[in-house]
Copies of this chain bind each other. A is one copy, B any other.
Amino acid sequence: MTDSFRVAFLGLGVMGGPMAGHLAKAGHGVTVYNRTAAKAEAWAAKHKGTVAATPEEAARDADFVMMCVGNDDDVRQVGGAAMQGMKAGAVLVDHTTASAEVAREMAAAAARRGLAFLDAPVSGGQAGAENGVLTIMVGGDAAAFEKAQPVMAAYGRSVVLMGGSGAGQLTKMVNQICIAGLVQGLSEAMAFAQQAGLDAHKAVDVISKGAAQSWQMENRAKTMLDGKFDFGFAVDWMRKDLAICLNEARRNGAALPVTAVVDQFYGDVQAMGGGRWDTSSLIKRLRR
Q: Do residues B167 and A178 form an inter-chain contact, with CB atoms below 8 A? A: no
> Which one of A33-41, A58-66, A74-82, A186-194 is at the interface?
A186-194
The number of times this chain is found in the oligomer is 2
- Please judge, given known A-B contacts A179-B185, A184-B181, whether A203 and B254 are in contact too, CB under 8 Å: no
For A192, list chain B residues within 8 Å (CB). 173-174, 177, 245, 248-249, 252, 254, 256
A191 and chain B: residue at smallest CB distance:
B254
Majority secondary structure, A binding face: helix
Q: Do residues B206 and A259 form an inter-chain contact, with CB atoms below 8 A? A: no
- Please judge, given known A-B contacts A124-B210, A217-B178, whether A198 and B257 are in contact too, CB under 8 Å: no
- Please judge, given known A-B contacts A185-B182, A249-B192, A252-B196, whether A174 and B207 are in contact too, CB under 8 Å: yes
Complex alpha-carbon distance, A210 and B254, angstroms = 23
Size class of the A contact interface (CB-based, 8 Å): 35 or more
Q: Do residues A254 and B286 form an inter-chain contact, with CB atoms below 8 A? A: yes
Q: How far is the CB of A110 from chain B (nearest CB, A)?
A: 22
**Chain A: residues with CB nearer than 8 A to chain B?**
100, 123-125, 128, 135, 137, 158, 160, 162-163, 167, 170-171, 173-182, 184-186, 188-193, 195-200, 202-203, 206-207, 209-217, 219, 233, 245, 248-249, 252-259, 261-262, 265, 286, 288
29 contacts between A and B (CB under 8 A): A100-B196, A123-B210, A124-B211, A135-B209, A158-B206, A160-B202, A163-B199, A174-B192, A174-B198, A175-B210, A175-B212, A177-B188, A178-B189, A179-B185, A179-B211, A181-B189, A182-B185, A188-B255, A188-B256, A188-B257, A192-B256, A195-B249, A195-B252, A196-B248, A214-B216, A255-B286, A257-B261, A257-B265, A261-B261
